[in-house]
Chains A and B, each alone.
Chain A
Amino acid sequence: GDKVKQSPSALSLQEGTNSALRCNFSIAATTVQWFLQNPRGSLMNLFYLVPGTKENGRLKSAFDSKESYSTLHIRDAQLEDSGTYFCAAEAGQGGRALIFGTGTTVSVSP
């Protein structure tokens, strides 16, 4: 089954608007990472989270380990925010522990 479930699977935004992406976990996630894969295919790390919140520019992310979910908020969306956002959860210890969701594809239009 889906241990890391992302929603929505796709999202269309107009420039300047705000939106939220979500990951729900059916595992006991201890840390969460968010990545952006740009249209060229490169994967970039956005956030590394223990339970709590982090903010970086127009992006803000939260991780609630008790309720087993994480969110990524995009404020004032820009064209360069387009791409596929992945969350990945670590469950316990061990090098294989990062489990990825299937991604949310975000398209920002003028």
Chain B
Amino acid sequence: EAAVTQSPRNKVAVTGGKVTLSCNQTNNHNNMYWYRQDTGHGLRLIHYSYGAGSTEKGDIPDGYKASRPSQENFSLILELATPSQTSVYFCASAQNSGNTLYFGEGSRLIVV
């Protein structure tokens, strides 16, 4: 079973502050993803990666950056957090495109 772990699990940030959400996977998957989940929208793709050094924009990338320094780690960075970025963020991994997706436990972010 794929193991995807996220940190922090809960965070309160101030408007204008920097937030980094971290994700680690131990199954040597190539692809990693960051989604946010909001009521009425389901899961929306922010950024994704095909492997170390690769980051790609998803459907809602504005206000977010991503970093994939290694196969195992994929970070989501909010340089200037805004209240509209209050959400639950999920990291996921898959062996390759079109393969089964495995999710982390989610990170709840509140921006005040």
Contacts and interface: CB of A to CB of B under 8 A. Distances in A.
B100 A42 contact: no
Nearest to B59: A96
A43 interface: yes
A42 B41 contact: no
B101 interface: yes
Size range of the interface on A? Answer: 20 to 34
Interface in A28-77: 30-31, 33, 35, 41-45, 48
Contact of A95 (B43, B44, B50, B59): B50
Contact of A88 (B40, B59, B101, B106): B101
Nearest to B40: A102
Interface of B: 31, 33, 35, 40-45, 48-50, 56, 58-59, 88, 90, 97-103, 105-106
